[in-house]
Amino acid sequence: MIRAAVVGASGYIGGELVRILTGHPNVELSAATSSRYANRRVDSVHPNLRSICPLTFSHPDDLETYDVIFLAVPHLESMRQAPELFEHGKVVIDLTADFRLPDEELFRRYYEVHHEAPELLGQFVGGLPELSREALRDADRISVPGCMATAAILALHPAAAAGVLRPEVSVDARTGSSGSGMSSGVADSHAERTNMLRVFAPAGHRHEAEIMQATGLNVRMIATGVEAVRGVQVLCRAELTESLDEKALRAIYRESYADEPFVRVVAQRRGIYRLPEPKILSGSNFCDVGFALHPGQPHVLLIAALDNLVKGGAGNAVQCLNIRFRWPERLGLEFPGLHPN
Amino acid sequence: MIRAAVVGASGYIGGELVRILTGHPNVELSAATSSRYANRRVDSVHPNLRSICPLTFSHPDDLETYDVIFLAVPHLESMRQAPELFEHGKVVIDLTADFRLPDEELFRRYYEVHHEAPELLGQFVGGLPELSREALRDADRISVPGCMATAAILALHPAAAAGVLRPEVSVDARTGSSGSGMSSGVADSHAERTNMLRVFAPAGHRHEAEIMQATGLNVRMIATGVEAVRGVQVLCRAELTESLDEKALRAIYRESYADEPFVRVVAQRRGIYRLPEPKILSGSNFCDVGFALHPGQPHVLLIAALDNLVKGGAGNAVQCLNIRFRWPERLGLEFPGLHPN
Amino acid sequence: MIRAAVVGASGYIGGELVRILTGHPNVELSAATSSRYANRRVDSVHPNLRSICPLTFSHPDDLETYDVIFLAVPHLESMRQAPELFEHGKVVIDLTADFRLPDEELFRRYYEVHHEAPELLGQFVGGLPELSREALRDADRISVPGCMATAAILALHPAAAAGVLRPEVSVDARTGSSGSGMSSGVADSHAERTNMLRVFAPAGHRHEAEIMQATGLNVRMIATGVEAVRGVQVLCRAELTESLDEKALRAIYRESYADEPFVRVVAQRRGIYRLPEPKILSGSNFCDVGFALHPGQPHVLLIAALDNLVKGGAGNAVQCLNIRFRWPERLGLEFPGLHPN
Amino acid sequence: MIRAAVVGASGYIGGELVRILTGHPNVELSAATSSRYANRRVDSVHPNLRSICPLTFSHPDDLETYDVIFLAVPHLESMRQAPELFEHGKVVIDLTADFRLPDEELFRRYYEVHHEAPELLGQFVGGLPELSREALRDADRISVPGCMATAAILALHPAAAAGVLRPEVSVDARTGSSGSGMSSGVADSHAERTNMLRVFAPAGHRHEAEIMQATGLNVRMIATGVEAVRGVQVLCRAELTESLDEKALRAIYRESYADEPFVRVVAQRRGIYRLPEPKILSGSNFCDVGFALHPGQPHVLLIAALDNLVKGGAGNAVQCLNIRFRWPERLGLEFPGLHPN
């Protein structure tokens, strides 16, 4: 049993961490902080945790020491708080964007601010088990990738690693409303947002940098907000370097993910759910990955779907925790998702 | 051609007024005010009006004089502004709650504030053509009823007027998100509000007073926010004073609404849409009214549905305008709604 | 470890049973039958179970013997199949409507057909742990109540048992689309059903009989299909026999459900989710129960919400299983639901 | 006043034609046929038309002669019925896919059946006013393009015609559920379809052929079903042949569509609705077209949105009618869409 704290527990990623850690057999969740809701019950903000989580939010200033701290504060706050948090947690798992990119310059280009703790940038191991499992076993500082980046990297990685993709790739990401965090602008109100198909990033979405970093491909990414609370789906279009049939492509993906507990290859000939869809993944830690070849042309469509708050955030972080502490990787992450949903 | 102004045109009711008046053949919409968005284009807030409405919002202080002013400001502001507006508009049609109740005491009980212009309370004619058509022909001050009140009154009125209902009636109202206005609280954000079934008024909703006023019944009303942008549906349960079969009840409703251009009696034996549903009414000025008898018991269910922004607000106001200026009642209100939608 | 079979596993209730039983530590799911999909993989119909459930559907004729059989066939088929199933399963848990009512006559009145196995009607114990826990410990034939009935009974029971309700109660039930089963009519198509508020049972819904049976109250129930896949909410209006304040009522509910693992009393003064809402219950076995008093009047609103496929079906059945086999009641039912969702 | 008939009026496109033609001042809708619903009221299938359209469906065999016949039968039936319909209607406007492609061979490749009336293929004028207005003035046989094709063509046309696009273009289309017609499969049921992001055409969607035909570009198209009843949005990615800034691109689009009554150029710097979204277009005949340049790269994103049943079908057909009969183009098509919606 290890002691854990969630810093920034009143947001959606934070609440999801609380949900998962409360059900984790090897973790005692000892603190959930929120400056705004300090001293109020956690379940007053996350009503799904009524009778599940008896904690009240503590103030961030009242941290003790923990075996692990999950950092789920807003972007750009993590780089301010991280140095101090290192004194409170042996292992720090950051879920913000602040330590995902390897260098100051790239960070400034994509986030348009100066990094406030550039000396820490290289110290974090990327928290994507499918790519960095070995490094995670000994990592004390882990930076979990963005939700859309996770999906795109998992969609592209096997083909990219096999060398069958030309480097120019377009990524079309679709995301639900929880991706914006607990929001209170008119643009995020139900009346304005429901049923929307809003191309909020017609070029150069920030996750682009992470995807390029991880895959070595030259990615142009756009992002659309769609009707959903949870859920990310990415469609990646690429050109093949060589002629591949479906069987060969399937073999590449199957082999790449054969031992992965949370990646499923979904590319069916029949049925309703032939390709990855987030609809059936809410609450689960799966990332479904699929593909379709363009008949008679060297073009391929690579698709991935996940729950942005789970495999795209809190669940992925807990998977990293399981690896770091040498536990079974599925621990606390068994919920399979619902059908219908 | 008359000149009209919409005061408070950046909200949802205000935008709907602009939409309808822009398409009205006898009205020249001369001003649309908004203190917040003054000097910005109306279509920057209401994007459906691009290429339709060339106006920019003017500041409320810059009003000239008009044949009619529609007042669509937030509740409790109307009672402050109305006296001055009387100098700018020959006819004033108020869409707020401020002048719906007949006396100060009732207003205080339901709105929990003192009325700031109690001397005006009796001067407004209730803007529900189905009940007050004659009075509206000469009315210079009109107060349009609340969206849920309109639905409930139209559901109850024929049976109440025919004397076949016992006085104790329960009203269960369901409403979409646009009913809260252009909102920016977390509770109204898409992630928190979508798919909700939120009993936000478990007792004593404010529209209760209006319904009692109009029907003479003793109403207990509750209200639930449901998944929808537009749309109100009310279910009224009542007991019958005498034994009535469906045919007799249908005759009462048919006769009552025989000449009404915007009330349809919907109580079908087959088909998908047997009873009133707001789903097919978005954008239309119809209020569909239906009923169902409890076999073998003296209980009746009376149902109504409408678009809260149209027949429950802006459309109803324009119908009053048409009556007041002795124009055909359907003018500018011809859109029938969509199927499917 | 006991051996279990799900008969009728391709429907929504059946799929939910497979999901829960696959994750249940004391159960080996040995068979999932479907006449229509025999020999196809279970995850071809229930895609959330990919990599979770390796079974293929077997044909109903190929049943062996099991410690427990869950019967999730369509209504009216259970009464035909039950007698033979008794030979294959020591314990039979029926999730259809066929054995919920105590006598032939009542069944005929509500279901409008003759019961084909009336001699079995009295043999089933009602599968609602909150009311029949003791009897369930030794029951070999269990009949799980309807989803809306479960919600209404749990909303009404404490007050009814405490004798504080007058006998006339109105129940207004709202239900999502999965309640109709895996459906293929035009009325259930997305275009016709989405955003609907369809009063499909304006009087005399079948679950009415179950509620009256369980509570001793005289219930008039109506039901509305609402926008949701999963989820039931019931609003029960009743009159109080004596003057009660909120504190007294809360005490009645708290005490009644103090030891219940899956009923939460939800009646908050602040926050977004003050009263029970199914939105946050998808996938969970909770039934949230709340109430609101009408100020100054002897009227009370009793509300309950649940996931129709879990606490309103499969989860409730597994809770009965846990009781029957003297296991901890929460086993296999730990998923708490999601926020936001 | 001309006499019109809608053949195949019980479907969604057919119902939309009835709605628009009933409100058209120059058209008398004389017949609405349906073999399935013959002799039933039109409003029994299209409940939005209650009190609006008094027609009953007539049997297709009972056609008289009309000034114009709209053909809204299922795909592949039009090519069987068209020859006979030419005897009943001076002008025939076909809304199916059967006469959209110019030659038999291309039709077979995309539709995988032999065309049954290949001799007629060249006789139809393409019903897209923005490209073929002149030809439509004298056309007696008009073939309205597909909904996604219309959006993509209008998004691409100005840039393609200006010669600023390289020929390789990818099109990502998103479509609501009404695009599948009045459907009754499980895949289209609400429980399975709601909130979906279903890549139903991962390569080679049929509308691809129409887009290539109209634009001269080499298009690779994929299509995703999204949560919406009405609405199509297309995202087209292309490379520019020359360096263009936003101002220059805007000029090309503005000029191209300056006189178009139903195309709006939407590419805003601020506001909630900066780029085309179908959410605000339901019921309207607008196609909104926008664009975004990739900073520092020769890549452009061209976007269009429309209501698939209106500008993507029935409304576009009526616009063609207005052109053919030399009426003002907006006649009967004035509804601007709703905000919020």
CA distance B167 to B84: 40
Check A233 against D197: CB less than 8 A apart.
yes
What tokens were used for A101? Answer: 């990119």
* pLDDT(B249) > 90: yes
Contact (CB, 8 A) for B190 and A194: yes
CA distances from A260 to A255, A256, A319, C51, D181 (A): 10, 8, 11, 11, 40
State yes or no: pLDDT of C184 exceeds 90. no
Above pLDDT 90, what percent of chain C? Answer: 96
Chain D positions touching C180 (Cβ under 8 A) are 191
Under CATH, what is the fold of the domain B2-123? Rossmann fold (3.40.50)
Q: Among partner residues D192, D202, D275, which is closest to A301 by beta-carbon distance?
A: D202
How far is B261 from B278, CA to CA, in rounded Å?
18
Average confidence (pLDDT) over A35-39: 96
Size of interface A-B (CB pairs under 8 A): 60
Task: Please state the separation of Cα D212 from the chain's center in Å.
Answer: 16
D296: pLDDT strictly greater than 90: no
Write the ipTM.
0.97
Q: How far is A203 from chain D (nearest CA, A)?
A: 6
Q: B10 and chain D: CB distance < 8 Å anywhere?
A: no
| pLDDT (average), residues C57-63 | 97
Percent of chain B scoring above 90 in pLDDT: 95
Closest CB to D199 among A187, A227, A303: A303
Residue D195, CA distances (Å) to A48, C193, C195, C282 in order? 21, 13, 12, 15
Q: Percent of chain D, pLDDT > 90?
A: 96
Contact B115, B91 (CB under 8 A): no
User: How far is residue A182's CA from residue C340's CA, in Å, rounded to a whole number?
Assistant: 9
Residues 282-321 of A with CB under 8 A from C: 282-284, 286, 288
In angstroms, rounded to a whole number, what is the distance separating the alpha carbons of residues B24 and D220? 44
Chain D residues whose beta carbon lies within 8 Å of the beta carbon of residue A170: 170, 237
> Which chains pack against C, by 3+ Cβ pairs within 8 A?
A, B, D
Does residue D176 contact residue C180 with C-beta atoms inside 8 Å? no
In angstroms, rounded to a whole number, what is the distance separating the alpha carbons of residues D253 and D264? 9
> Does the pLDDT value for residue A184 go beyond 90?
no
Would residue B232 be called left, alpha or beta, if left means φ above 0 and alpha means ψ between -120 and 50 degrees?
beta
- Within an 8 Å CB–CB cutoff, is residue D191 touching chain A? yes
Residue in chain A nearest C338 by alpha carbon? A48
Q: Are A176 and D196 in contact (CB under 8 A)?
A: no
pLDDT at position C204: 85
Residue A227 scores a pLDDT above 90: yes
Q: What is the pLDDT of residues C300-310, one digit of tens each?
A: 999 999 999 99
Residue C305: exposure state from Cβ atoms within 10 A (0-12, 13-18, ≥19) = buried
Average pLDDT (A9-24) is 98
pLDDT band at D275 (very low <50, low <70, confident <90, very high): very high
Instruction: Collect all residues with Cβ–Cβ distance below 8 Å to C119 and sequence separation of at least 6.
Output: none
Residue A298 has pLDDT above 90, yes or no: yes
Mean pLDDT (whole number) for B55-72: 97
C-alpha span between C226 and C195 (Å, rounded) = 7
pLDDT at D285: 98
Q: Is B338 on the interface with C (CB under 8 A)?
A: no
Domain boundaries along the sequence of chain D? 2-144+313-324, 147-306
Quote the pLDDT of residue D221: 97
Report the neighbours of D using a cutoff of 3 or more CB pairs below 8 angstroms: A, B, C
Interface probe with A: pick from D110, D195, D230, most Cβ of A within 10 Å: D195
Q: Contact, C210 vs C171, CB < 8 A? A: no
Q: Is the pLDDT of residue A61 over 90?
A: yes
Q: Are strands D299-306 and D232-239 parallel, antiparallel or unpaired?
A: antiparallel
Place of tokens 């939910």: C16
Q: What is the CA radius of gyration of chain A?
A: 19
Q: What is the mean pLDDT of residues D32-50?
A: 97
Residue B74 structure tokens: 């937030």
pLDDT in tens, D105-160: 999 999 999 999 999 998 999 999 999 999 999 999 999 999 999 999 999 999 99
Residue B41 DSSP one-character state: B
Residues C145, C311: Cα–Cα separation, whole Å: 10
Phi–psi pair at C142, nearest 5 degrees = -125, 135
* Cross-chain Cβ contact B230/D334 below 8 Å: no
Neighbours of B19 (CB within 10 A): 29
Smallest CA–CA separation between B186 and chain A, in Å? Answer: 5
- Give pLDDT, residue B231: 98
Does the structure show a pLDDT above 90 at D56? yes
Query: Residue D322: helix, strand or coil by DSSP?
Result: helix
pLDDT at D204 over 90: no
Query: What CATH architecture does domain B147-306 belong to?
Result: 2-Layer Sandwich (3.30)
The answer to whether A206 and A111 have CB atoms below 8 angstroms apart is yes
User: What's the gap in Å between the CA of C199 and the closest CA on chain A?
Assistant: 22
Confidence of residue D316 (pLDDT cuts 50, 70, 90): very high
Mean pLDDT to the nearest integer, C189-218: 95
Q: Testing the interface with D: which of A110, A195, A200 to mutate, by most D Cβ within 10 A?
A: A195
User: Which of D177, D197, D222 to substitute to test the interface with A, most A CBs within 10 Å?
Assistant: D197
Instruction: Name the nearest CA neighbour of A211 among A131, A307, A137.
Output: A131
- If one looks up domain D2-144+313-324 in CATH, what number appears? 3.40.50.720
The predicted structure's pLDDT at residue B184: 79
**Chain C residues closer than 8 Å to B195 by CB:** 227-228, 231, 279, 341
Contacts of C191 in chain D (CB under 8 A): 12, 176-178, 180, 182-183, 188, 229
pLDDT at B183 over 90: no
Higher-pLDDT residue of B309, D184:
B309
Average pLDDT, integer, range A279-286: 98
Closest CA to B211 of B250, B153, B256: B153
Task: Give the model's confidence band at B204: pLDDT under 50 very low, under 70 low, under 90 confident, else very high.
Answer: confident
Mean pLDDT over the full length of chain D: 96
Say what the pTM is. 0.97
